[in-house]
A and B are shown apart, each in its own frame.
Chain A
Amino acid sequence: MKVTVVSRSGREVVKGGIDLKDSAKVADLQEAIHARTKKYYPSRQRLTLPLQPGKGGKPVVLSPKASLSEYCEKGSGSLTVVFKDLGPQVYYSTLFFFEYLGPLIIYPMFYYLPVYKFFGYEGERVIHPVQTYAMYYWCFHYFKRIMETFFVHRFSHATSPLSNVFRNCAYYWTFGAYIAYYCNHPLYTPVSDLQMKIGFGFGILCQIANFYCHILLRNLRNPSGSGGYQIPRGFLFNIVTCANYTTEIYQWIGFNIATQTVAGYIFLVVAASIMTNWALGKHSRLKKASLFDGKDGRPKYPRRWVIFPPFL
């Protein structure tokens, strides 16, 4: 079949179009476009069907595993696709690795190196036990995240735009430095021993719970990555849709109870609002998905908290 590839402004991206076997898949089309254009490797391509003039709605995105013939107009042996360049892409694992590496390295720098001399604090620093435990807790947390990135998580999209690397690293690294500065400060005031134990103890429990949530989510996805939504089940997912975010937020609450810095609490609020945004999106996608509307014998998405019982 003949495939015409145009940009959103109507210009032909691949002159003369591409000829493919009738049985070809979208992935084959992507390879062919890459071969002809050199610059646009498949993960950079976003291919959609042209929008009918007058009709609104979102354009249909071509799924790489589908057959091209599924998208053809009935009867014709040809297809027109609209091409959008998503810009340079990085693997999600690459993105996560760098954004988590920053906090993992920066925080211990404030703990071990004589950083505070540059802020005008001369002389010896007395290190309180809570500050040492906080450093271990923090580093374990980000080490866990990196391990999960490579060994646990299964990503729905393989890549993310390169610009996200700068944005996300700025977020994690800046907050990491901001919190590390106060937690390791020479004039740091520790909380009571009991409060510290409660904070870290609760935090560790939540990290374990969070890890288990990640394992459950992983098992929802087929290893070949055939995608599609599943209703999460088991453990805390029976009560709350995004139990993984819930446990992550609670884990930071634990850290803050133990270390008590305004910087830490600011980070908690910002992180929680970002995750709440994601959770609201995920919750409504799962409820609306034609898979879970309860009609025609399909399962209905159960009533659950979104992220933060009993509030949301």
Chain B
Amino acid sequence: MAGVGSAVRRLYLSVYNWVVFFGWAQVLYYAVLALRETGHEAVYAAVERPLQLAQTAAIMEILHGLVGLVRSPVSATLPQIGSRLFLTWGVLWSFPETQSHILVSSLVISWSITETIRYSFFGMKEAFGSAPSWLLWLRYSTFMLLYPTGITSEVGLIYIALPYMKASEKYCLRMPNKWNFSYDYYYSSLLALLIYVPGSPHMYRYMLSQRKKALSKAKAA
């Protein structure tokens, strides 16, 4: 019975990873196409649907970690997915004024390169038992460039959206109300920006240590 269970798990995770891989591959393709044919202002419109689908699907990964389907700790995946969803829905989709900015291109390309590598890596491991060493190398090396470019784009876009958040009062809850609660989206976003300051070096260092572990394990094997 245990055999059937783990086979189902492998099948499910293979399908999941390859489907999401395909979504991100689309994002990358349409982004580069739009950049070359039109210009950076057109990138968002070209990638919006596959981006929203692929990024939102990542919520499943929190569930996978919670029920123990995968080994990744929820504490590492939650902030990562949180910031991605915040940018995708909370900034880009909510404030169209940001969509024509050039940072959208750098954001979308950084994310899609990283994710196509990551999902194909996991897809290979689940489907075939292992991934080729060049893919392992890519997975644990490209972040060294793509984390800084991606994080800069994220921080930049949040910053650009701030005045629009303040002016529109979107997602805000004001007092008085019977639950004596208030929420200000502008200040929450400022807080998110502040969290990037210790958060980014922490994530980068975490990936560096993962790199060391993964590449030395491959060498020993």
Q: How far is the CB of A129 from chain B (nearest CB, A)?
A: 16
Instruction: Decide yes or no whether B177 CB sits under 8 A from chain A.
Output: yes
Cβ of A262 to closest chain B Cβ, rounded Å: 4
Give the residue of B175, B180, B182 whose beta carbon is less than 8 angstroms from that of A260: B180
| Chain B residue contacts of A259, Cβ below 8 A | 180
Q: Does residue A263 face the partner (Cβ distance < 8 Å to B)?
A: yes
Taking the closest CB of chain B, its distance from the CB of A168, in whole angstroms, is 19
Give Cα A70–Cα B178 distance, bound, in whole angstroms: 64
B175:A187 contact, CB within 8 angstroms: yes
Chain B residue at minimal CB-CB distance from A266: B181
Q: How far is the CA of A260 from the CA of B175 in the complex (A)?
A: 13
**Interface: A34 (CB within 8 A):** no
B128 located at the interface, meaning its Cβ lies under 8 Å from any Cβ of chain A in the complex: no
Q: Which residue of A lies closest to B179 (CB)?
A: A262
Residues of chain B within 8 A of A182, CB atoms compared: 180-182
Q: Which residues B132-185 have CB closer than 8 A to chain A?
A: 175-182
Residues of A within 8 A of B177 (CB): 189
Interface centre among B175, B177, B180 (most CB of A within 10 A): B180
| A261 contacts partner chain B, Cβ-Cβ < 8 Å | yes
Q: Mark A4-21, 1 if CB is under 8 A from B, else 0.
A: 000000000000000000
Number of residues of chain B lying within 8 A (CB) of chain A:
8
Cα of A182 to Cα of B179 in the assembled complex, Å:
10
* Interface: A221 (CB within 8 A): no
A265 nearest CB neighbor, chain B only: B179
Q: Which residues of A contact B175 (CB under 8 A)?
A: 185, 187-189
Interface residues on A, range: 10 to 19
CB-nearest residue of chain B to A259: B180
Give bound CA distance, A1 to B177, whole Å.
73
Closest A residue to B183 by beta carbon equals: A262
Enumerate A246-272 residues with CB–CB distance to B below 8 Å: 259-263
Q: Mark A156-187, 1 if CB is under 8 A from B, else 0.
A: 00000000000000000000000000110101
* A189 proximity list for chain B (CB < 8 A): 175-178, 180
In the bound assembly, the distance between CA atoms of A263 and B175 in angstroms comes to 13
Residues of B within 8 A of A262 (CB): 179-181
In the bound assembly, the distance between CA atoms of A188 and B177 in angstroms comes to 8
State the CA gap A183–B182 with chains docked (Å).
12
Distance of B195 from chain A, by nearest CB (Å): 14
B179 to chain A, nearest CB (A): 5
CA of A259 to CA of B181 in the docked complex: distance in angstroms?
12
CA distance A93 to B124 in the complex (A): 55
Cα separation A262 to B181 with both chains bound (whole Å): 6
The CA-CA distance from A262 to B178 in the complex, in Å, is 10
Which chain A residue lies CB-closest to B177? A189
One digit per residue, 1 when the CB lies within 8 angstroms of any chain B CB and 0 when it does not, for chain A 267-289 equals 00000000000000000000000
- Can you list 9 A-B pairs, Cβ within 8 angstroms, ordered by A? A182-B182, A183-B180, A187-B176, A189-B177, A260-B178, A261-B180, A261-B181, A262-B180, A263-B181
Write the residues of chain B forming the contact surface with A, with a CB cutoff of 8 angstroms. 175-182
Apart from A182-B182, A185-B175, what are 6 other A-B pairs with CB-CB below 8 Å?
Answer: A187-B176, A188-B175, A188-B180, A260-B180, A261-B179, A261-B180
